Chains A and B, each alone.
Chain A
Amino acid sequence: MEVPALTDDALIASALAGSGDAFGTLVERYERAVYHLAYRTLRDAEEAKDATQEAFMKAYRALNTFRPGAKFSTWIFTIVYHACCDRLARRKRWSDAELPDRADPAAGPEALAEASDDAHRLRAAIEALPEKYRTVITLFHLQGKQYDEIATVLDLPMGTVKTHLFRAKELLRKALGDQIAERGR
């Protein structure tokens, strides 16, 4: 018989009572998703690693402020998203190389053409999206169709989230369609 996994709320309660293992389980459960969001937002493995660590440290210190009943995933995604925004702002301040709303020049049509299989092509197409669309599509990937949760993380109205998502999907379809058309020629 399979032992039911503890809920996030139960793990948080244990962690607050002093259990290091409980917080370790939370880290194990969300580390990959949090890193994924940081990596997609920052497009830099080293910075994504630092942002993920920073987010978990902040969460650990502020665990007693976590509202019971809220979703831990939304909370930790919000923290890491803010950490990423700070890093992007700092990067923007020091260099003109990366602007939040600009597509990555490295992941242009050439990079897309190089991508062989469907997953790689889709990943490359996401990488090529402007930052605001890339983040919303990443959260859609992580949280599913929970638009209210995505809106909470990004601190945007639900309507804006839906618009960004619609636009992001449109751009993705166009990018993938262009490639299929190019391959057909």
Chain B
Amino acid sequence: MTDDELERALFALPLEEPPADLRHRILGATVYRPRMIFRTAEVWALGTALAVMVWLSWYVMTGLPNLGVKVGFIVSSLVAVIGAAMPGQTWLWLALGITAAIWISQISFMPARRPIVDH
């Protein structure tokens, strides 16, 4: 058998027939795969937040007799962490901002509703 004859025979050889469901399986795993509602980073953030909440709940529940101390500790820890990240004047502006926001939210800019009078 010459080289040419062998090559001709090779190229004439039909390819293996793939299983009938292969294409459906591929497409099902790629283009038709349901999209994730959350992105990976969001899943991580949500998971972390949930874990912190669970830990906080457990921490508070297990310390019911000293609940006030525990809550005080958590609040002071949060304040300390935020305080370390922000200079003193920021607190003042933040407090002013929050106060202003509360006051503004109480003001109604809508005209007073007139009573409906039947003639």
Contacts and interface: CB of A to CB of B under 8 A. Distances in A.
Contact-residue size bin, chain A (C-beta under 8 Å from the other chain): 20 to 34
A53 interface: yes
A31 B26 contact: yes
A157 B88 CA distance: 67
Interface residues of B, number: 23
Given A23-B31, A27-B23, A137 B15 contact: no
A161 to B, nearest CB: 16
A40 B27 CA distance: 23
B30 A23 contact: yes
Contacts, number: 74
B12 A169 contact: no
Contact of B31 (A20, A119, A141): A20
B42 interface: no
A122 B31 contact: no
B14 A119 contact: yes
Interface stretch (A1-9, A65-73, A97-105, A170-178): A170-178
B15 A32 contact: yes
A31 B30 contact: no
Contact of B3 (A24, A48, A141, A169): A169
Interface in A22-59: 23-24, 27-28, 31-33, 35-36, 39-40, 45, 48-49, 52-53, 56-57
Given A56-B30, A118-B9, A28 B23 contact: yes
A52 B18 contact: yes
B65 interface: no
Given A169-B3, A173-B1, A177-B1, A60 B30 contact: yes
Contacts of B109: none
A40 B23 CA distance: 19
Interface string B22-38: 11011101111000000
Nearest to A59: B30
B118 interface: no
Given A31-B18, A57-B26, 12 more contacts: A20-B27, A24-B27, A27-B26, A28-B23, A31-B23, A31-B26, A32-B17, A35-B15, A52-B18, A119-B14, A123-B13, A169-B6
Interface of B: 1, 3, 6, 9-19, 22-23, 25-27, 29-32
